[in-house]
């Protein structure tokens, strides 16, 4: 149930980012998302500031930067050019990078079938992007690589949490991780023209509302749930929410009049087959 709820929340985050971009730049949407999530978590998890585990500061810092900070900017930037549904589909590659990073750095044991899954998933991603790459060359590839970079960050972050922060409370992990990135995001946000945009852009308040939902539900509460899921199960199962996330993202894309073709669905199904094999343990 936790996996399903998390999948629906994160599947909806791509359309919320798109609505935030109606008025704000990608940097403002990402910084506002991180700053509002930090404010919410600082209130929700304020008791955890009285006893900060000193030996966990480095993995908490990495979790904040890699698991939340960098992906917020990469995903939002990718949506300045790509449809939200396509970015949501690319997010399904997270388990592939989770297992790849596990193999390289965490001595993860896998079977031949898991390697085959990685190969199929990457083939599916290439198939998904191939027509666009042929038509628009470097630009689509560049923005797609930004989305893929965010999924690599997610995969790495899950291993950090499972390996180094398993004994901490999930609210504690999320609160302290966002403390490393939230204040800086706030300074960055208000040092630009954010106030001017709020005063002059006709869609500013609507974009602020969508980004606030993205921050509080899509970042703060969802990351708490995700961290708990990692501790309860493991990195691979937790990242399996990416099975459902693209479906939700596609549905939102259709409702928002984005172009979803049979080619997109075919690429998604190939990637999904690869992700299934990556997660197959027996």
pLDDT in tens, 35-47: 999 999 999 889 8
| 17 vs 111 pLDDT, higher one | 17
3-state secondary structure of 26: helix
How open is the CA angle 205-208-211, to the nearest 5 degrees?
A: 155
- Taken in order 242, 246, 252, 253, the sign of the CA dihedral is positive
Percent of the chain whose predicted confidence (pLDDT) is above 70: 91
Q: SS3 breakdown of the chain: % helix, strand, coil, rounded to 5? A: 85, 0, 15
Mean pLDDT of 232-256: 73
As a whole number, mean pLDDT of residues 149-154 equals 92
User: How many angstroms separate the CA atoms of 273 and 90, rounded?
Assistant: 14
Cα separation, 52 vs 237, in Å, equals: 28
| More confident call, 258 vs 36 | 36
What's the mean pLDDT in 73-87? 88
Q: Which helix (H) or strand (E) holds 187?
A: helix 182-190
Q: What is the dihedral of CA 165, 2, 18, 32, to 10 degrees?
A: -40
pTM listed for this prediction: 0.83
94 touches 59 (CB < 8 A)? no
Read off φ and ψ for residue 203, nearest 5 degrees. -105, 10
For the chain, the domains span: 2-279
- Rg for the chain (alpha carbons), in Å? 18
Q: What is the pLDDT of residues 154-201, one digit of tens each?
A: 889 988 988 888 888 888 999 999 999 999 999 999 999 999 999 999
DSSP designation for 47: G
């Amino acid at each position: 149930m936790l996996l399903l709820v998390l999948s629906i929340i994160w599947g909806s985050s791509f359309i919320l980012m798109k609505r935030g971009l109606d008025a704000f730049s990608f940097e403002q949407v990402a910084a506002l998302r991180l700053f509002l999530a930090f404010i919410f978590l600082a209130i929700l998890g304020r008791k955890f500031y009285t006893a900060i585990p000193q030996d966990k500061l480095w993995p908490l810092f990495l979790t904040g930067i890699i698991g939340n900070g960098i992906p917020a900017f990469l995903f939002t930037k990718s949506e300045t050019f790509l449809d939200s549904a396509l970015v949501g589909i690319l997010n399904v590659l997270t388990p592939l990078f989770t297992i790849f990073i596990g193999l390289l750095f965490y001595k993860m044991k896998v079977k031949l079938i898991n390697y085959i899954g990685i190969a199929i998933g990457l083939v599916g991603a290439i198939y998904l992007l191939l027509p666009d790459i042929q038509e628009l060359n470097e630009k689509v590839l560049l923005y797609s690589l930004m989305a893929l970079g965010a999924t690599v960050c997610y995969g790495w972050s899950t291993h950090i949490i499972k390996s180094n922060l398993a004994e901490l409370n999930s609210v504690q992990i999320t609160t302290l991780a966002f403390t490393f990135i939230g204040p800086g995001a706030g300074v960055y946000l208000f040092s630009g023209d954010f106030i001017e945009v709020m005063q002059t852009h006709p869609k500013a308040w609507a974009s602020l509302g969508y980004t606030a939902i993205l921050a509080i539900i899509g970042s703060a509460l969802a990351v708490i749930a995700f961290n708990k899921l990692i501790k309860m199960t493991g990195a691979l199962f937790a990242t399996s929410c990416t099975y459902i996330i693209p479906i939700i993202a596609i549905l939102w894309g259709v409702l928002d009049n984005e172009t979803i073709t049979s080619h997109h669905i075919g690429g998604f199904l190939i990637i999904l087959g690869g992700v299934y094999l990556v997660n197959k343990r027996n």
